[in-house]
Structure 1
Amino acid sequence: MTAVQDLSFAVGPGVTGFLGPNGAGKTTTLRMLLGLVRPTSGTATVDGRPYAELAHPRRVVGALLEASGFHPGRTARQHLLIQAQLAGLPAARVDTVLDEVGLGADAGRRVGGYSLGMRQRLGLASALLGDPAVLILDEPGNGLDPAGMAWLRSLLRDLAGQGRTIVVSSHVLAEVAQTVDRVVIVNGGVLRFAGPLAELSGAGDSLEAAFLRLTAELEGSAR
């Protein structure tokens, strides 16, 4: 079974929404970018190089694919200190990123007592640990309440304002529409659109309407 086919796009500074229905190939594509899946043909690069060839990968790209894998008996600070040590990053970054994601007051709590939203924030802290220029985030708003979603939107816009490149995969289209500069839409492993958000909304479509039209066109042609 082919996950993606002839999928080619590039993203630069700013926030890019990476969108598609379930099974569209989004997570596979992100995993290829991070060297977790090897493409059968073609290349997936970050800063012009495959992830495995980056000299200091955590300083170049930070990723949040799922907020799991935390030892429930460790505190958030302990988890990040281990991550920093393994990646050769300064321990001083730990408290910086904990404050940045709003976990400073809960850094001494065991992660096993964290809510889903708090674990999601810890995953974001881990992604930010190396102060990377590129962020790859898969459903970063999962588990966040409305105030948390507003906080995440502000954080991503602030990071983009610093010149970073951010790729966000999400199903929450209303939130994506308030956050991103560009959109990449895939369906069935095929690219359906890549360009500025304004190009979709310029035709009078909302992001949701454009998304449904573009993904339905491919589904209709396969019948």
Structure 2
Amino acid sequence: MAVAGKSRSRATPARALGAHRGLMTEIVVRQLGKNYGRVAAVRDLSFDVPSGQITAFLGPNGAGKTTTLRMLLGLVRPTTGEALLDGQRYEQLAAPQRTVGAVLEATGFHPGRRAREHLRIAARLAGVGAGRIDVVLEEVGLTDAAGRRVGGYSLGMRQRLGLATSLLGDPAVLVLDEPANGLDPAGMAWLRALLRALADDGRTVLISSHVLSEVAQTVDHVVVVHEGALRFDGSLPELAEGDGGLEAAFLRLTGAR
């Protein structure tokens, strides 16, 4: 532990996932920093995300979570330090979509495009065989809605489509920003089962979330940041022990009221 200053759901979504058990792929962040002019969005941030577990990346709005994830995925250049995936920066990966599946928002879809066509294009760009399309549609419960235009999807359905896209390359690492947004209770239970199946398969799963009640039911490991700096890095039981549980610990670490 480190502490510093309506679509169909499936109950067991692991059947068609790849065999990643035993892989040591993990995320390593070391002394990561990002400045925008005189503003330090991320400051000297270091933590590990182990394989075979679900790690929650928590912090209030403006804490630097999205900036950190964007640096990890090669979308923003760090000012200092580095963020590594299996020992390499994202841009050094030979086949990034087959190593890392990422969902940073559920709005980046052409509204006139049908879900299956979106996945067909994404698979082609990632160098993935078209046979994976039906697999991931089944995994996220969108098989029956695959012929519908994405513009008619609910937010929860777009979240599922984003997850399907991230799974196309059968990646060993998943990076998901607010994956529960727009999901109803049944959808959240489905997501919980999916994430657990992915972690139990040996994958590295990193999720950013504001839904602390769901985090408490889902994750193994927690990283908390506030004002761009690390506040906690350890297991969920270590963080949640004591009066008030996870929510009280989070509020104490971030100084929220």
TM-score range, shorter chain: over 0.9
1:186 paired to 2:225: yes
Offset from partner CA, 1:6-61 (integer Å, 9 cap, x none):
00001112100000000000000000000000001111111110000000001100
Give the aligned partner of residue 248 of structure 2.
209
Give the aligned partner of residue 166 of structure 2.
127
- 1:202 deviation in Å? 3.1
1:38 paired to 2:77: yes
Give the aligned partner of residue 63 of structure 1.
102
Q: Which amino acid aligns with 2:41?
A: A
* Structure whose residues are more often helix by fraction: 1
- 1:90 deviation in Å? 0.8
- 1:203 deviation in Å? 3.5
Correspondence 1:144-159 to 2 at 5 A? 144-159=183-198
1:173 paired to 2:202: no
1:6 paired to 2:24: no
Distance 2:110 2:240 in 1: 44
SS class of match (2:210):
coil
Q: Which amino acid aligns with 2:123?
A: A
Offset from partner CA, 1:79-109 (integer Å, 9 cap, x none):
0000000111111101100110000110011
- 1:182 deviation in Å? 0.3
* Structure whose residues are more often strand by fraction: 2
SS class of match (1:214):
helix
User: How many residue pairs were aligned?
Assistant: 218
Q: Which amino acid aligns with 1:88?
A: G
Q: Which amino acid aligns with 2:110?
A: H
SS class of match (2:233):
strand
Q: Which amino acid aligns with 1:206?
A: G
SS class of match (1:45):
strand
Identity %: 70
- 1:204 deviation in Å? 4.4
Q: Residue 111 of structure 1 is aligned with which of 143, 147, 150? A: 150
Distance 2:195 2:153 in 1: 23
- 1:205 deviation in Å? 4.4
TM-score normalised by length of structure 1: 0.95
Give the aligned partner of residue 32 of structure 2.
none
- 1:200 deviation in Å? 1.4
Distance 1:72 1:212 in 2: 38
SS class of match (1:135):
strand
Distance 1:86 1:11 in 2: 28
Q: Which amino acid aligns with 2:144?
A: A
Give ranges in structure 1 of 5+ residues lacking alignment: none
